[in-house]
Structure 1
């Protein structure tokens, strides 16, 4: 009860200050000088990571954030910057993938889950504001823990979930996914479990997931701008630079996913994610002099 009151109190404060603060932030954002030479190595590395993330997601239908987020953190980005880069760069990949798989999409399946997921985003973004007060090492450990949880959840894929369409499970799955999306950008596993538990075909599952990722972009960017200011759009600009490579990665991933399916590619993806997660969690000790 206290946490709920705290959250809504913070939300009221945001609303009260929104009209005063956002115009000032926009002016500061629009008038400050860019210094690309200062962070061009980080930009280049981030672009390559985003292209690789698009390839992975197009291949197996998930894991762009699970794969890309820890790498973007290691490249020197904050959790907010990494999240914005992922959702912006993957937007092009998601639209391309939805277009390629458009015959497998039923919009009636998407509307209610998307609405539930979007309604839960503010809770996750409020949590992200709290996490941003942590040290970089603690953030990396949180990310590693979420990845391990996601991989454990993904291990249940293949088990038939006969009552997945019951309202309570739809609300729990997509509400939880929305909170994870706002907090970390790593929200795919609950949805993957849901679609595969109903025996969706590979193309139908990927089309559904890509549609869900598209639906949260606008609301999430609005919330992040509201909470962290217009500086988040610098990260969006970096992500836009990656779009040509992201599209190439997505096309290659879609073809590879259609050729081989999940049977061979999914275990390799899990192994890579486990390595990334453990490395993130052990980073304070690995980097100790």
Structure 2
């Protein structure tokens, strides 16, 4: 988890993409792996947002927050239906990680062919996917990161957007996980 925390502190995201597959590979249930990560992500994003409080893009994040929040419970519900099947959880996790890698390769260029940033409305599929995936496998960042990287924003604004987006959703994610799985998810 330490390496994932260092990765997140350096580039602003990536703790879940690195640590959740490792936890699952080591035999930890997927819901428990997510539960173990929530406090770390909460602490780190809270700290980063506090350090950059004057630069937080509140207006830009609210719409994203609503969309992510709408899909988060659906992801947690799907996770609850597959939680007892470690094989299915690993398969979903593996396909998702492969999908993240392919998405990064396909969207490597920061602008479309005409040199314009991607349309703002793309935040709708990015945010809904982010909320669902945060609930399902604890990795809601990749779709948001891909969208943010295609905006004409400074790197600082990109990081602040991501940190604030994660900070607003992670406490609710933790609460939903606690309600659905109870405290054993923290000790499994």
> 1:188/1:130 Cα in 2 relative to 1: closer, same or farther (>3 Å)?
same
Contact kept? 1:164, 1:194, Cα under 8 Å: no
Structure 1 CA distance for aligned equivalents of residues 159 and 89 of structure 2:
29
Return the alpha-carbon distance in structure 2 between the equivalents of residues 107 and 64 of structure 1. Answer: 23
Q: 1:56 to 1:113 in 2, by over 3 A?
A: same
Q: Could you list the per-position Cα deviations for residues 213-268 of structure 1 after superposition, in whole angstroms to 9, with x for gaps in the alignment?
A: 11112221222122212323557xxxxxxxxxxxxxxxxxxxxxxxxxxxxxxxxx
How many residues get paired? Answer: 183
Among 44, 50, 73, which residue is 1:122 paired with? Answer: 73
Deviates most, 143-152 or 154-163: 154-163
List per-residue Cα deviations over 1:77-100 (Å, max 9, x = no partner): 210110011121111111122223
Distance in 1 (CA, whole Å) between partners of 2:80 and 2:21 is: 18
Higher alpha-carbon Rg? 1
Matches within 5 A, 1:65-80: 65-80=16-31
- Residue in structure 2 matching 1:165, options 103, 106, 120: 120
Q: How far, CA to CA, are the matches of 1:192 and 1:178 in structure 2?
A: 13
Shift of 1:119: 1.1
d(CA) in 1 for partners of 2:187 and 2:65?
Answer: 27
Instruction: List per-residue Cα deviations over 1:127-153 (Å, max 9, x = no partner).
Output: 10122132x344223212211111222
Unaligned ranges ≥5, structure 1: 1-49, 236-289
TM-score normalised per structure 1? 0.59
Corresponding residue number in structure 1 for 2:96: 146
Quote the residue 1:87 is aligned against: 38
Which structure 2 residues correspond to residues 1-289 of structure 1 after superposition, within 5 A?
A: 50-134=1-85, 136-155=86-105, 156-160=107-111, 162-166=117-121, 169-234=122-187
Match of 1:267 in 2: none
CA distance in 1, matches of 2:130, 2:98: 16
User: What is the rounded CA distance, in whole Å, between the counterparts of 1:164 and 1:99 in structure 2?
Assistant: 30
Distance 1:203 1:158, change over 3 A: farther
Q: RMSD of the alignment, in Å?
A: 1.8
CA contact (8 A) 2:79 2:135 kept: yes
1:206 is displaced (CA, Å) by 1.0
Q: Does the Cα contact within 8 Å between 2:30 and 2:137 map onto a contact in 1?
A: yes
**CA positional deviation for 1:177:** 0.6
Task: Tell whether the 8 Å contact from 1:66 to 1:186 is kept in structure 2 after alignment.
Answer: yes
